[in-house]
Amino acid sequence: MRVSQMFYLYRRLYVQQLKAILEYNKDFYILMCSAALTQVLGFVFLWVIYDRIPDINGWQFWEVTFMYAMIFVTEGIGSLFFEGTWRMSRLVNLGEMDRYLLRPVPVVLQVFCTGIGINGLGNLLIGGVIIGQSLVHGNVHWTPGKILIILLLLITAVIIRVAINLAANSAAFWIKNAGNAFPLMVHNLADLAKYPLSLFPQAVRVFVSTVLPYAFISFYPATYIFGKSGWSGWWMLAPVAALGSMAAAYGIFRFGLSRYESTGN
């Protein structure tokens, strides 16, 4: 199937899903506001702390808020456009994957459009404002090249986030009827990347740079943007991390799918 055809189908399936949500799930603005509120309160937490102290390990307020917001924004994009990964345990345990396997469309594409997390919009909105403010108030030396690289880092960040979600949710093929517990735990590990990596022991640093490369979503981009010495150059591995996690996630998903047993007789 051609890539353009896949984009077209994704859009068609997505829009249909959106219509259904707008019609049946009147709750979406509550979700949106609660996501936004959660983020604002997280921001308040950082603000309260920085009100007492000037820096943490040499990291200024706006630098940390940037990292914090990157984790939330990528999560928001994940909810908004790839929420279906979180429905995987249902698709597998109730045998609903059958339907996807019967269609001449890549299964992963259909999984992506299984749902839409409108709450992502709240994340995106507040997170976007915080990132914007961080870039304005933080000490950034702007050049056209830098803007380009920041855009690239944003894209790799989203890819990494979605890939990890996909891989973690593929656990549904192995762990039966455990709900979303395992992927939620993996998701929570992103907390480790909300704050400067230098706070953590070596093992944690390696872990969030390799096994679950959350650090390439927030920390490494921050070191580049704010010109942190001591970490220079590491951000360049972001595309590698993105491609690597994408390939690994897709591999895990495919392998899981080959174990799919459907249900019933």
Partner 1 sequence: MSIIEARGLTKSFVQAVKEPGLKGALKHLVTPRNITKVAVHPLDLSIETGETVAYVGPNGAGKSTTIKMLSGILKPSGGSISVNGINPYKKRMENAARIGAVFGQRTQLWWDIPIVESFSLLKDIYQIPDPVYRNNLEQFIELLGMNEFIHLSARKLSLGQRMRADLAAALLHNPPIVYLDEPTIGLDVSVKQKIREFIKKINHEQQTTVMLTTHDLGDIEDLCRRLIIIDHGRIIYDGSLSEVKSRFARSRIIFFQVGSPMPELFAELNRTPGIRFTLQNDQEFSVAFDRYEYTASDVVSRVMRHGEVIDFRMEDANIEQVIKAVYDGNLDLNQQAQ
Partner 2 sequence: MSAISLKKYRSIANRSLQNVLAYRTSYVIGFLANTVNLLAIYFLWQGIYSGRSDVAGYSWDQMKTYLLVTFLANSVLSWYSETSISGKILDGSVAMDLLKPLDFQSARFSETLGASLLEGGMSAVLLTLFASFLSGITLPHSPLVYVLFILSLICAILVKFGVVYLAALLCFWSTGSLGIVWTRIAVTNLLSGALVPLAFFPDWLERLALWLPFQSIIHTPTMIFLQQAGTAESLNLIALQAFWGLVLWFAGKAMWNWAVRQVTIHGG
Q: Report the interface residues with partner 1, using CB under 8 A.
A: 1, 5, 8-9, 12-13, 16, 19-20, 23-24, 95-99, 101-106, 258, 260-262, 264-265
Q: How far apart are CA 92 and CA 98, in angstroms?
A: 9
* Closest approach of partner 1 to the CB of residue 130, in Å: 34
**Smallest distance, Å, CB 96 to partner 2?**
19
CA distances from 25 to 14, 21, 37, 254 (A): 15, 5, 20, 32
**Contacts (CB under 8 A) with partner 2, residues 67-126:** 119
Concatenate the DSSP letters of all residues of 166-225 into one string.
HHHHGGGGTSTT-TTHHHHHHHHGGGGGSS-GGGS-HHHHHHTTTTS-GGGTTHHHHHHH
The yes or no reply on residue 195 touching partner 2 (CB under 8 A) is yes
Question: CA separation (Å) from 147 to 50, 77, 152, 209, 240?
Answer: 28, 20, 9, 24, 20
Question: Which one of partner 2, partner 1, none is in contact with 65 (Cβ closer than 5 to 8 A by kind)?
Answer: none
Binding site partner of 136, from partner 2, partner 1, none, Cβ cut-off 5-8 A by kind: none
What's the number of CA atoms in the CB half-sphere (13 Å) around residue 23? Answer: 6
Length of the chain: 265
Q: Which does 102 bind (CB under 5 to 8 A by kind): partner 1, partner 2, none?
A: partner 1
Shortest separation between residue 186's beta carbon and partner 2, angstroms: 9
For residue 41, the partner it binds in partner 2, partner 1, none, with Cβ less than 5 to 8 A by kind, is: partner 2
User: In terms of CB distance, is 188 or 265 closer to partner 1?
Assistant: 265
Of partner 2, partner 1, none, which one does residue 95 interact with (CB within 5 to 8 Å by kind)?
Answer: partner 1
Contact pattern from residue 22 through residue 61 relative to partner 2, giving x for each residue in contact according to CB under 8 A and a dash for the rest: --xxxx--xxxxxx-xx--x--xx--xx-xxx--xx----
Query: Residue 17, Cβ neighbours under 10 Å: how many?
Result: 16
The answer to whether 39 touches 72, Cβ cutoff 8 Å, is: yes
Contact of residue 175 among partner 2, partner 1, none (CB under 5-8 Å per partner type):
partner 2
Helices (H), 53-106: 61-82, 88-93, 97-101
Question: Residues in the site for partner 2, rule: CB under 8 A?
Answer: 24-27, 30-35, 37-38, 41, 44-45, 48-49, 51-53, 56-57, 119, 175, 178-179, 181-182, 184-185, 188-189, 191-192, 194-196, 198-201, 204
